[in-house]
A and B are shown apart, each in its own frame.
Chain A
């Protein structure tokens, strides 16, 4: 099955060169094959979830692309990237994984570069992607020196996993996040279908790699706490910067960072959990989180593609009610609301942290407690951010249909997310409780024998619907009359802007965001960005002085250098 998937996806890029729609159809077909592969391999545990998530994301992006693409070069690049991701996902050895990793990145770099014809975002993207590859490569190399084999095998030391994790974390946008917001910049400057691939699927590949390496390595609680800390930190700041961001796509980029942080926190719980049941819960929930994020982010980037405009003022192209319904479900999922799968994931995250704090009867419990608080604050911002996104995309400005295929695709993603919420209990096999009150699929969090907490997305979905129908049946359609919006007695002259929506936080958290209010703008900046700027200016000055000192164009000194070099080389060779 894997071979079939890879073949179909491999054939897609050349097809895309010939005919755009052919290429995308091939990718779509290959995605379905991927989903099937995942279902086939369900005995392998969390790997299934990654395969299914990836397959679904590619499927929806491909279908959307068929009516979105109006570039000549995009189709083959898109399919090539998907092919690379498939290789990485199904790889059984390091070489295949790295190949897939690079094959997925380079087309994205090209797409970013060609999209706006500016160098900066593309180079930024490539620089950090290559840094990530370098670290992953180093990790694999180390692993090779331990096992003398290229295939994925259990390892005795933790260092390979550590190195690889650092690399993967860069790819997810976590690591040098505070230093350079490269991920939002890169993702914001690509065509929508490419952005959805980058934010959703590439993040998935990185997460997959991270989980794979960690599963093969001995546990390291110190590393686990490190991941928990950095994860919580990213959740908060990712969400905060998403909220105050002035650009829709950058907003989604920061949201990716936030979700990656949540994923890392769960991995951290997995590594530090005192009971086996708790670590299993955390691991499954981490995969579920990635599933939720992949689906929702794909859908939201596709939606952003439909409202392409500068959203710091108004969204000129608004979306119709089909895609809006999908968008509402997607943003609900990103906000962590039941009955979507994102709701289950957020619930599971907070439950894991709660349970760990409860079970760790030591001062170490402060880590999950603090992490939990920070994560909760971040989730609050995430909800407001998503609300802002969906309100200004479609609720405040009603628009017409922007291409039926595209609207229906977004709606389909939304429905999938909703369905996934009710079906995800299938992934939580050891955590189900028997049917009580006739409610199926209750997922219960456990760290020992008894349930700690429980949630039933299906119940949450059905109960309001049934009640609403009942009420409607009893009272009938209310008598209403449409009238104009009341605006103090005048017609509405100006509109509330998305920028103004977030100014309250820009002002209230002015110390954290370094807010400056000028007559013509409100600016926020980033502490590490300022530090980096200062450091790099210092570095520039330092290197200039240094180079002037030793490259002083005096012949005498150069002779000294040559003699010194000769001595050094001789010594090295002798030793």
Chain B
């Protein structure tokens, strides 16, 4: 399947495309940075602060909405929690920090980082490890998609489906905890190795699939619920990623054109897309991807005999530059690393939340206040990966 080249975002000193890196000195009309400048409007308008600490927000972020009252003219966003992560030097220590850049995407971050490291070392992880990594990413995807749909249902005041989705999410977390020892994949991955613990119970997965489908279909039957999402946060930009792009009809997925695409192809991955570029389309995509991830996991489990507990020591023994890009639950996630003498000297991250924030700020204009939480949640933005400084 030939996939067109697409623009993803800024990775360190480069523009990242799906098939190349361009140095950022080249001016690119493709790129637009989320402006952080002072926000003010004409007489009669005022700027409303949402956050940094608000009941409706999961994380700390300062969203500023300039409005005439009800009608939003413009929005800016400021990450308030900026953490410094030490990554230069010892690779093992760096991995500790990378895992904790965004705990909810820990597997995606760790895997992308490790792929970049392995490429920099001109080596490749064994197939069993690749499969384990894919398994982790897909489990993480299920959990996150369920969480996003839960957040949307909770915002809409649909308490019963919200509780049911939380129930499913806790079940998935328990599976992850049982299989990998930690509910957020901390300490699970390493250079060319991955831990797998107890077995995955496929019947349990079938049950989870069924329960999820029931809730999801029930939500889709509710006209009131759909009304909150349709037409809300329309994004038709071709410079989008992840579920946002696929909802708008673009065939963008790092599982097709990024790393481990062959593994995904073997597991039977097919791209899902819709032609509803709003919050509703993003909800649809996520719901359907949950089902698809569950199918992929079954596929992976059936190849289980190739798994083994690798305990080889980590060592990145050469030098080089590597780039790893995988599909996190909210879109493309890429790391580029520069190894020298077995130590990390440079690292750049393109988290999916950065392009998503840009798209959110564009899509919120002209909507009303009550639309904002739905729009925000539908992108699946995590501020923890936006506010990191690597040293």
Contact = CB atoms under 8 A, between A and B. Distances in A.
* A and B from one complex: yes
Contacts of B48: 494
Nearest to A310: B43
Interface in A477-529: 487-490, 493-497, 499-504, 507, 517, 519-522
B71 to A, nearest CB: 6
A312 interface: yes
Nearest to B368: A507
B68 A493 contact: no
B50 A503 contact: no
A503 B49 contact: no
A518 to B, nearest CB: 9
A503 B71 contact: yes
A35 B339 CA distance: 96
B88 interface: no
A564 to B, nearest CB: 59
B70 A503 contact: yes
Nearest to A504: B70
B265 interface: no
B157 interface: no
Interface of A: 246, 310, 312-313, 487-490, 493-497, 499-504, 507, 517, 519-522
A521 B42 contact: yes
Given A488-B51, A488-B53, A503 B68 contact: yes
B153 to A, nearest CB: 24
7 contacts: A313-B44, A494-B48, A499-B45, A500-B67, A501-B69, A502-B69, A521-B42
Contact of B69 (A313, A490, A504, A520): A504
A494 B46 contact: yes
Contact of A507 (B42, B44, B45, B70): B70
Instruction: Count chain A CB atoms within 10 A of each CB in B60, B69, B73 and give the residue with the most.
Output: B69
Interface in B45-104: 45-54, 60, 62, 67-71, 73
B44 A487 contact: no
A521 B71 contact: no
A42 B287 CA distance: 79
A312 to B, nearest CB: 5
A203 to B, nearest CB: 30
B51 A499 contact: no
Contacts of B46: 494-497, 500
Contact of B49 (A246, A493, A501): A493
Interface string B16-56: 00000000000000000000000001111111111111100
A494 B45 CA distance: 10
Given A500-B68, A502-B69, 19 more contacts: A310-B43, A488-B51, A488-B52, A489-B51, A489-B60, A490-B52, A493-B47, A495-B46, A496-B46, A497-B69, A499-B44, A499-B45, A500-B69, A501-B69, A504-B69, A517-B68, A517-B366, A520-B41, A522-B44
Nearest to B47: A494
Q: What bracket does the count of chain B residues touching chain A fall in?
A: 20 to 34
B42 to A, nearest CB: 4
A500 B44 contact: yes
A522 B68 CA distance: 8
Nearest to A489: B53
A499 B73 contact: no
Nearest to A508: B70
A500 B45 contact: yes
A519 B44 contact: no
A465 B69 CA distance: 37
B interface, by DSSP: helix, strand, loop or mixed?
loop
A499 B52 contact: no
Nearest to A502: B69
Given A503-B69, A503-B71, A517-B68, A497 B45 contact: yes
A483 B60 CA distance: 22
Contact of B44 (A312, A488, A504): A312
B71 A520 contact: no
8 tightest A-B CB contacts, nearest first = A503-B69, A500-B69, A499-B44, A489-B53, A494-B47, A520-B42, A494-B46, A503-B68
B49 A490 contact: yes
A312 B42 CA distance: 11
A18 B192 CA distance: 101
Contacts of B60: 489
B71 A507 contact: yes
Contact of B68 (A313, A490, A499): A499
Interface string B220-239: 00000000000000000000
B73 A519 contact: yes
B39 to A, nearest CB: 9
B366 to A, nearest CB: 8
A490 B47 contact: no
Contacts of B50: 488
B77 to A, nearest CB: 14
A501 B44 CA distance: 10
A517 B44 contact: no
Nearest to A314: B46
A343 B266 CA distance: 78
Contacts of B366: 517
B49 A488 contact: yes
Nearest to B78: A490
A501 B50 CA distance: 18
A487 B69 contact: no
Contacts of B69: 497, 499-504
B169 to A, nearest CB: 27
A521 B73 CA distance: 10
A312 B68 CA distance: 11
Contacts of B68: 499-500, 503, 517, 522
A503 B62 CA distance: 24
A499 B83 CA distance: 40
Contact of A312 (B43, B53, B54, B67): B43
Contacts of A493: 47, 49
B350 to A, nearest CB: 29
Interface string B346-384: 000000000000000000001000000000000000000
A502 B70 CA distance: 10
Given A488-B54, A500-B68, A500-B69, A246 B62 contact: no
Contacts of A520: 41-42
A497 B47 CA distance: 10
A246 B44 CA distance: 9
B157 to A, nearest CB: 21
Nearest to B73: A519
Contacts of B73: 519
Contacts of A517: 68, 71, 366
B373 to A, nearest CB: 14
Contacts of A495: 46
A552 to B, nearest CB: 51
A248 to B, nearest CB: 14
Nearest to B49: A488
Contacts of A521: 42, 44
A423 to B, nearest CB: 41
A527 B52 CA distance: 44
Instruction: Count chain B CB atoms within 10 A of each CB in A494, A497, A501 and give the residue with the most.
Output: A494
B161 to A, nearest CB: 28
Nearest to A492: B49
Contacts of A497: 44-46, 69
A246 B71 CA distance: 17
Nearest to B62: A490
A313 B49 contact: no
